[in-house]
Chain A
Amino acid sequence: MVELATQYHTITAVVEDKPGVLARVAGMFGRRGFNISNLSVGHSETHGLSRMTFVVEGDEWVVEQVTKQLYKLIDVVRVSDISSDSIVVREMALVKVRVTSETRTEIMRVADTFHAKVVDIATDSLIIEISGDEGEIDALVELLNPFTVKETMRTGRVAMTRGGAATGSMKPSLDTTDQSAPDTDVVP
């Protein structure tokens, strides 16, 4: 389990699996100036619905606005801020690292320590697949850096609520608003 810094919030959304949905969501974030540090999307357990996981930077007001503006999109079915829930957060990464016959064994041992898999072996490189929280991936990449990491590819975080409840089963709480808003810029 990951301890998120208070200014980062994990939000999940269930969305219609239709063309343009990602553009609508990304466009809304950009237009309203919300800062997403992470976005991942994939099919859900229900045909025709996808799940998105966002990590959003901001205070309570920003998170509430993000949640409500997301929910306002017609193709967004459910939204929930699961930051304060007990959640499992994972990310997957592929790391391509340079090897020589001398370093190969050592690198594979490092991967093994992280429960990472070697998924491709070439004479001068390895691809290591790791899944874990962000910190674990950062730590592995850091350990591999002295051997020269040629490429990393990361999926971004996915999150799921622990226990029996479905992730994102809550609608945004519409009647609990009591937030102060920052002064908006002056429009002449």
Chain B
Amino acid sequence: MQLTGAQIVCECLLREDVEVMFGLPGGAIMPLYQTLPEYPALKHILVRHEQNAGHAADGYARAAGKVGVCVATSGPGATNLVTPLANAMMDSVPVVALTGQVPRAAIGRDAFQETDTTGITMPITKHNYLAMHAVDLPRIFKEAFHIARTGRPGPVLIDLPRDVLEEVAEFQYPEKVNLRGYKPTLGGNSRMIKRAAKLIDDAKRPVILAGHGVLIAGAANELRELAEKAQLPVITTLLGISGFSSEHPLSMGMPGMHGQAHNNWAIDKADLLIGVGMRFDDRVTGKLSTFAPDAKVIHIDIDPAEVGKNVRVTVPIVGDARHVLRALVEEVATTARPEWVDELDELKDRHPGMPTSHEEKLLPQQVIRDLHEATTGKAIVVTGVGQHQMFAAQHYGFTEPNSWITSGGLGTMGFEVPAAIGAAVARPDRAIWSIAGDGGFQMTMSELATIVEQRLPIKFAILNNNSLGMVRQLQDLFYGGVRVSTAYSGNPDFVKLAEAYGIWAIRVSDSTKVQEAIAQASAVDGPALIDFEIAPEENVYPHLPAGGTASEMIEGPTGKEAPTWLS
């Protein structure tokens, strides 16, 4: 079948089960856009800024468990994708980005809207391609989707010169991928699995650290089975949240910088850590040399480069979390550890994790807890980065896998608005709550227009403290309270702003009105926004200083003072 490059792209997308893509057109990518009317099965969602197309594809991928697709033109369109690609790379999210490029003859001549897109995105994609012939497109697309969704998922970019999109070539979609240098390991080494099971059986104080890999692999059931059979308390990393129900008696919460204090104490006392689909990132470990000083480590990850990268590993297992956990469930002995489990329960009681400082004002923690109640913990919660994110992570109480979508590794403010678009498109059956900070919201709020156009029923909860709260908190705790460039004195009236887009909105500053407002917003047929005027001085606790140890954790406003070496 003879088709143009643009038609071939569309045929490939259909064969990869793509239903929707997020993008914004421009000169070089126009041949693809002008072909879209021939392919009504490919829905295109027009955004207001390419960065948000990328984040929407990211949110879509996480909520749908499919590859998210975003489209941008050459030059500035492509460079605007840099942040979302880096975000998807850090959080292992399968995204395929299509970018326009100047015609082949103009490449390298600094043509209008030319940029070295594959060069720029090389370190922030799992792989990328510059398609130089239309006839190569089927192979490139087949490989790109395979690379994006298998192994440790990640973003793949395909750069498409305009004249390649116009070139006519024979279309035949390959049945198989043939990549000599890419063969991810799924099942773990059985000898290592046996060794791991023995360590688990012999351990007195084991804990599981469950990360994003559990959700990516669809291993929530296997994780629960293993935890229950061997009585292993489960700590979920920021991205592992929702992989283990917070209502489960063995659920511990989050570790690390803003994790509940008992988790850092548990890791400190543990004699065995079982890391599953996580990478012992610095926000989790603090100072590596004092992290889990008494623990042997079993590290299960599909990416061999993560195993042994940050912590010394006793038993490395390279493989897919679901396969490896399934094998471990069979291997481990049914064990009871009442002493250890009771000890951790006691730790939880001693470090209750909701210290509050301004009881007379509206507290962000309460907003999140009320949101949990109003949505019975069943919403898909999307956040950006900062205090609101940590409050949501600590207090929402997730019960269902893939109901928590946040920017983890890269820490991208503004993620909450476009990622919620992706989630809402992927899961029209679920309530989508975007919990935002006033800082991040203003980075990407241009997408309210997209939300209105697409009639997406996203509910926004802005935790508004008129500042860049997390940076303000760092200034107060570690920089002697010298506040530099963290006050937002010129914030818009978010209610009027929403109304300007035709979005229902309300402001809440009274703690008794929170539930009612959430109920009203939920009842709106379409998007809604609540501007919560929260106590501006409220901090996220605990706060384990960057590179610190469990003993340096600041548990609350009346707890330990900031360590002197940091102030």
Contact = CB atoms under 8 A, between A and B. Distances in A.
* Most chain A Cβ neighbours within 10 Å, of B191, B288, B314: B288
A90 to B, nearest CB: 26
Interface residue range, chain B:
35 or more
Given A72-B303, A181-B309, A184-B310, A27 B179 contact: no
A187 B283 CA distance: 9
Given A175-B189, A181-B311, A183-B289, A77 B180 contact: yes
A23 interface: yes
Interface in A114-167: none
A174 interface: yes
Interface in B286-305: 287-289, 303-305
Contact of B181 (A31, A74, A183): A74
Contact of A74 (B127, B185, B310, B546): B127
A104 interface: no
A64 B308 contact: yes
Given A20-B130, A68-B305, A77-B180, 5 more contacts: A23-B119, A28-B123, A72-B303, A74-B182, A184-B288
13 contacts: A16-B181, A27-B123, A64-B308, A68-B305, A69-B305, A74-B126, A77-B181, A78-B181, A174-B304, A175-B316, A175-B318, A179-B312, A188-B474
A15 B180 CA distance: 9
A99 interface: no
Nearest to A61: B308
Contacts, number: 89
A178 B308 CA distance: 6
Interface in B305-331: 305, 307-314, 316-318
Interface string A27-38: 110010000000
A70 B123 CA distance: 13
A75 interface: yes
A31 B123 contact: yes
A177 interface: yes
Nearest to A70: B305
A54 interface: no
Nearest to B126: A74
B122 interface: yes
A83 to B, nearest CB: 18
B282 interface: yes
Given A73-B181, A75-B181, A181-B288, A187 B282 contact: yes
B179 A74 contact: yes
Interface in B457-503: 474
Contacts of A69: 305
Nearest to B192: A175
A175 B317 contact: yes
What are the 8 tightest A-B residue pairs by CB atom distance, in nearest-first order? A186-B547, A177-B308, A68-B305, A77-B181, A177-B316, A74-B127, A174-B304, A174-B318
B368 interface: no
A23 B127 CA distance: 12
A181 B179 contact: no
A176 B191 CA distance: 11
B546 A176 contact: no
Contact of A184 (B182, B185, B189, B282): B282
A21 B185 CA distance: 23
A23 B181 CA distance: 17
B118 interface: yes
Contacts of B313: 177-179
A185 B308 CA distance: 17
Nearest to A75: B181
Contact of B122 (A24, A64, A178): A24
Contact of A176 (B122, B147, B312, B316): B316
Contacts of A61: 308
A125 B521 CA distance: 86
Nearest to B474: A188
A95 interface: no
Given A175-B189, A181-B310, A187 B546 contact: yes
Chain A interface mostly? loop
A30 to B, nearest CB: 9
Interface of B: 118-119, 122-123, 126-127, 130, 147, 179-182, 185, 189, 191-192, 282, 287-289, 303-305, 307-314, 316-318, 474, 546-547
A73 B181 CA distance: 8
Contacts of A31: 123
A77 B316 CA distance: 22
A172 B288 CA distance: 25
A186 B546 contact: yes
A65 B309 contact: yes
Contacts of A182: 288
A31 B122 CA distance: 11
Given A172-B304, A188-B474, A27 B181 contact: no
A163 to B, nearest CB: 24
A177 B180 CA distance: 24
Contacts of A24: 122
A25 B97 CA distance: 22
A14 B547 CA distance: 38
Contacts of B304: 68, 71-72, 172, 174, 177
Contacts of A186: 282, 546-547
Nearest to B290: A183
Contacts of B130: 19-20
Contacts of A94: none
A61 B288 CA distance: 15
Contact of A178 (B123, B185, B288, B312): B312
* Most chain A Cβ neighbours within 10 Å, of B289, B309, B310: B309
A177 B311 CA distance: 10
B122 A23 contact: yes
B139 to A, nearest CB: 12
Contacts of B180: 16, 77
A79 to B, nearest CB: 10
B479 to A, nearest CB: 10
Given A20-B118, A72-B305, A175-B318, A180 B127 contact: no
A10 to B, nearest CB: 20
A97 interface: no
Nearest to B127: A74
A76 interface: yes
A138 B201 CA distance: 58
Interface string A84-120: 0000000000000000000000000000000000000
Nearest to A188: B546
A74 B147 contact: yes
Nearest to B156: A74
A155 to B, nearest CB: 25
Nearest to B411: A187
A75 B118 CA distance: 14
A180 B288 CA distance: 10
